[in-house]
Amino acid sequence: MDYLLLTFMDFRDTKFLFFTGKGGVGKTSLSSATAVQLADQGHKVLLISTDPASNLTDVLATEVGDKTIAKHPDLTTLSTINIDPEEAGESYKNRAISSLGMLATPAYRNKVREQLSGACTVEIASFDEFTRFISGEANPEAYDYIVFDTAPTGHTLRLLELPDAWNDFLDHNEGASCIGPSSALKSNHKRYKEVVDVLKDPEQTTFYLVARAEETSLKEAARSAKELSELGMYNQRLLLNGIYSPIDLEDEYAAQISENARYQLENLPEVLLSLPREEFPLLPYNILGLEKLRSVFSKEKQQLILENEQTEGFEIEETPDFTALVDDLEKDGHGLIMTMGKGGVGKTVTASAIAISLANRGHKVTLTTTDPAAHLADYTGQVVDLPETLTVERIDPKVETEIYIEKAVAQRGVGKTEDQIKLIREDLNSPCTEEVAVFHAFSKAIRSAKRQFVVVDTAPTGHTLLLLDTTGSYHKQVVKQSNIDVSKLHTPYQMIQDQNITKVILVTLPETTPIREAESLQSDLKRASIHPYAWVVNQSLPTKVNFSDSILLRKRKHQQQLISELKSVQTNKVFQIDYIKEDKIMAEML
């Protein structure tokens, strides 16, 4: 096999290395492999995950804590830590309350704590924690390199943009807001500015944009490159992961997959063409543990691992397909269908295909998304004649925020002076307002699910949980403030909990880490009394195709073993969506 060989990577001597890109492209594998390589060379390395859905523990095959930095037991020059968003949020809240001083009344302290209960506080706290590892507070000088396995692109860019937004907001507000008391945050201005300066310095920081040879992944990388450049962060490199080189060129399926990848690489978005780039091969095994991480840069290690991989001796068990899933969802004739899962697993294409299929069968369907990346149009646009019974919407965070602010100003500004209205508007100009605005739009969209189908393509896992947390808080607020009999209230939160109305579909990939992350999401949902209805294992190599290419045979065997294990432990229904080798994914699915 003609593997692409990388014995080392050129790190340009920058201390801070950021890996970012669309979810599921291999950021964690490449960032971890880089950290291991540097540590193997004798450098002191700190690997940090700022992803709410971090899976460093799986990849490194050792426990990665979220409270203290720990050395890897088998590679002591490598240290690791997760920045846990919830833990960071609670710590941030306590620090903000403490900063109020002795003169603050109990009532005011309670008011501030309530203001800090919003979902966006968690993101702000994560950024606040993240900055400590670049500034001097967390002893970064103890390491030669600090590698960041960052969150999905949109989340990462939002974190990077926050300091400027805070500066404008805090410079004009002396009281408290949903992001904390102004006095507490202003004391951190210097640190935030120093961190942004470091990120912009090409002598200190490199951004690695990770992508696969797929259109949506490359579009996301191009958007990242553009937005990072607009933020003054120009030291970027492109890492193309999972490049497939077939062994058997007579295998038509293998040849088509390879041809699709080649076409994408020959037609890279213009903004990516100027970036230095490296390519990494598709490996038919999960990159878990130190030895497999080391194989990322070593042809010899890849071949040794493959020699121990057997393709025979496993009987494939058929799993219900996409058509069976739609048949199952159609039975009630209406309801809320929510696709959930980590970014990059195929929630958007699954939601789009479900919605179009139901509409093709004559049902009235609304398809909407709360995902800031909003890739719906990439898939619905592949269908020439969308059914008339289908309505496609997008909850645009920026638009919804503007609408929300105008309504709030109109309500709160009655009888107020021009200066007082100006202060109200400034107070609403905070990062938290977007979370509230998106929730209101989300609530409105799902209410029609009692009369028709509403299919919601949700944001990546971390954002989804934040959204549901906001939903739950809203429900408690309604119950507390309403004079209506609680038994007659049916808030959006209750609608999501009601399995007669809502069917939550967990979408994952046939790989160990995405399945474990989906299991973790399922546990979180169940704690909120939300019970997933079914699992969809997306991009599975088809069981009815007779592959002759050994890489695909190995990959399929590994995938089917994971699917079989999943079905043995899950009480939910499990469906499989085959990997589609054609350009027009939606047309093939339908």
Q: Report how far residue 212's alpha carbon sits from residue 466's, in angstroms, rounded to the nearest whole number.
A: 28
Q: Are strands 502-508 and 335-340 parallel, antiparallel or unpaired?
A: parallel
Q: Report angle CA 247, 249, 254 to the nearest 5 degrees.
A: 80
Catalytic choice (29, 49, 121, 433): 29
Pairwise CA distance, residues 198 & 315, whole Å = 54
299 is catalytic: no
* Residue that the structure tokens 């109109």 belong to: 410
> Which of helix, strand or coil describes residue 181?
strand
Residue 26 falls in the annotated catalytic set = yes
The H-or-E segment that residue 148 falls in is strand 145-149
**Residue 475 vs residues 90, 405, 449, 480, 494: alpha-carbon distances, Å:** 21, 21, 18, 9, 8
* 58 classed as catalytic: no
Marked catalytic residue, from 20, 22, 23, 27 = 27
Query: In angstroms, what CA-CA distances link 194 with 199, 201, 225, 313, 521?
Result: 9, 11, 22, 58, 35
- Residues sharing a CB contact under 8 Å with residue 414, sequence separation 6 or more, in sequence order: none
Q: How far is CA 531 from CA 221, 335, 561, 572, in A?
A: 34, 15, 25, 9
HSE-CB of 249 using CA atoms within 13 angstroms: 3
Report which secondary-structure segment, H or E, holds 534: strand 534-540
Residue from 14, 20, 28, 32 carrying the catalytic annotation? 28
From the list 20, 22, 23, 24, the catalytic residue is: 24
Q: Which amino acid is at 378?
A: D
Of 20, 22, 23, 26, the active-site residue reads 26
Q: Is 513 a catalytic residue?
A: yes
- Out of 513, 540, 550, 557, the active site residue is 513
Which candidate, 159, 184, 156, 160, places its Cα nearest to that of 170? 184
Nearest residue to 285 (alpha-carbon basis) of 303, 270, 314, 306: 306
Strands 335-340 and 277-281: unpaired
DSSP β-ladder status, 205-212 and 16-20 = parallel
**24/159 Cα distance (integer angstroms):** 20
Please confirm, yes or no, whether 28 is among the known catalytic residues.
yes
* Chain centroid to CA 368: 18
The answer to whether 51 is a known catalytic residue is: yes
DSSP string computed for 13-30: T-SEEEEE-STTSSHHHH
Of the residues 15, 21, 49, 51, which is catalytic?
Answer: 51
Of 87, 110, 130, 86, the closest CA to residue 176 belongs to: 110
Query: What residues act catalytically?
Result: 24, 26-29, 51, 513
